[in-house]
Amino acid sequence: MAYAGHSECHCLHLEVTNLTLLGLFACCTLDVTMAPMLSARVPSPQVQRPSRSADEVREVGRVLRAAMRELIEVIPEGPHSPSRVARQLGMNRVIASKLLNALAREDINETIQQIPGPESLRGMTKAAAELGVPSAATEQANRAIDSFARLIRDDFGTRGALHAAISPQGAQVRQKVELASRYQIFQGIRELLGVEADVCLTSMIFAPSPDDPEAVSNTSIHGVIGMRRLRPDINLHLNFGPPRRAADDKRQLLRAPVDLSDLYTHDPAPTETRNSGGQLVHRLLQENVGKHASMDMLLVAQDTRGSRRYASPERPKGGGVTFADPPSRMMIFDVLLHDDVFPGAAPELFVYNPGAQGPANPVDPSRDVDRVAVPESVEVLEKQSGRFEVPEIPRYGEMIERVCGAYSLHPGSLRLFRLRMAYPVHCFQFVMAFAAPQRPAK
């Protein structure tokens, strides 16, 4: 998306039987009339438990860490490795390793996030008691474990909710919680929609327009690597282009005459392409399913007047956008800038949950409520050597070379900015924005 007046995006639309899953969703209110009940029920009084402060949560963790450290120290034949603890206490080595790693953390939030659950810890204290460890150490540990169990059960309900509550307290904890949560979303969405991909790629090259000195051209590589159907009853469409144009805008986005299929990792996905409403719509023709039916589908498109080149009061920024679609294990979002496009500007990352309002414009303050905080940031790779090496796309550098060669651009002169994200949330909107320059005085 070059949201300088014209918004470009790509997204995969899945048609399941007669239902089309679009990027916008309608909301409705359902009025339900209940039949009269035969007898009235008196609701049970609800006991409102006092909420825990962050300091109280951390204190429970500190007491647990201290008690478990002391217990480990009095187990015979120390110092202890995961294998030795597992052997002496008859427990799983993975759990023993997880425990020792958690107890070694100085950040109590990391300890709480990594330590095994109460039942595993109780099994450990029981085994330690059978080894003849002093009862004072096992009793102290059991009291701390009971407090930890009450914290999970009574104050948060689940271990995941506890992790979410402590995640803002530490960057490392937050990143682990975020990744685990996004993975769960990925697993559910891929099964629901019947499609997944190893990599979702958007690479946007911005350069001065060859047709208009006031415009910026946008040449893009977009698509998926390692896409697989998980269900045979869906039609897959990859759309690229602006979600809406002004009525008097008759421009057509053109599919570039650049073929990348010989650089793929998997077999090319057979597609047919049409132009609809200013968008290129690519329909997947292959219907095979299963893990061995992986396909690559990368398409090159160009709009020589993708956006305006200079700032205006209503449009102080420009840049690119992508949507996490289809469900993917990894998203690579690259913006490559010619030296004369957004000169000297640093990237800003905006992530939105667009919901029913549709694609967001980062210069619209009313959409700030839809922003989502993420632990990732944009990598400023500029013109570093090796910047086109992407492990998930082995021949990515060759792809960039070919596309640039088709439009008289030199890859070495392009500044690269990259957002790399594992398990991006399906249909979230990712915007990489740059301050647009002022029009030079004549």
How are beta strands 19-21 and 254-255 bridged, if at all? Answer: unpaired
pLDDT digit of tens for each residue in the chain (442 aa)?
444 433 444 444 433 222 222 222 223 222 222 333 334 444 444 445 557 788 899 899 999 999 999 999 998 876 778 888 888 888 888 899 999 999 999 889 889 988 999 999 999 999 999 989 999 999 999 999 999 999 999 988 888 788 777 766 566 667 777 888 899 999 999 988 888 999 999 999 999 999 999 999 999 999 999 998 888 777 777 776 555 555 555 555 555 679 999 999 999 988 887 877 667 787 878 777 777 789 998 988 888 888 899 999 988 999 999 998 889 999 999 999 999 999 999 999 999 999 888 899 999 999 999 999 998 999 999 998 899 999 999 999 999 999 999 988 999 899 999 999 999 999 999 999 999 999 988 7
Which has the closest alpha carbon to 172: 122, 102, 124, 222? 102
Calpha distance 45→354 (Å, rounded): 39
Residue matched to tokens 């007046």? 5
Which has the closest alpha carbon to 116: 103, 129, 135, 131? 103
User: Which residue(s) pair with 298 in the sheet?
Assistant: 223
Calpha distance 105→245 (Å, rounded): 54
User: Which residue(s) pair with 10 in the sheet?
Assistant: 240
CA atoms within 13 A on the CB side of 55: 0
- Are 134 and 19 within 8 A, CB to CB? no
Tokens (6 digits) for 289: 């399913």
Indicate the Cα dihedral angle 133, 136, 138, 142, nearest 10°.
180
Would you state the pLDDT for residue 30? 26
Which helix (H) or strand (E) element contains residue 204? strand 195-208
Calpha distance 67→104 (Å, rounded): 13
Calpha distance 220→129 (Å, rounded): 65
49 CB contacts (<8 Å, ≥6 apart)? Answer: 154, 155
Which has the closest alpha carbon to 263: 423, 411, 388? 388
Residue 317 φ/ψ, nearest 5 degrees? -130, 160
Which has the closest alpha carbon to 394: 263, 205, 292, 222? 263
413 CB contacts (<8 Å, ≥6 apart)? Answer: 338, 339, 383
18 CB contacts (<8 Å, ≥6 apart)? Answer: none
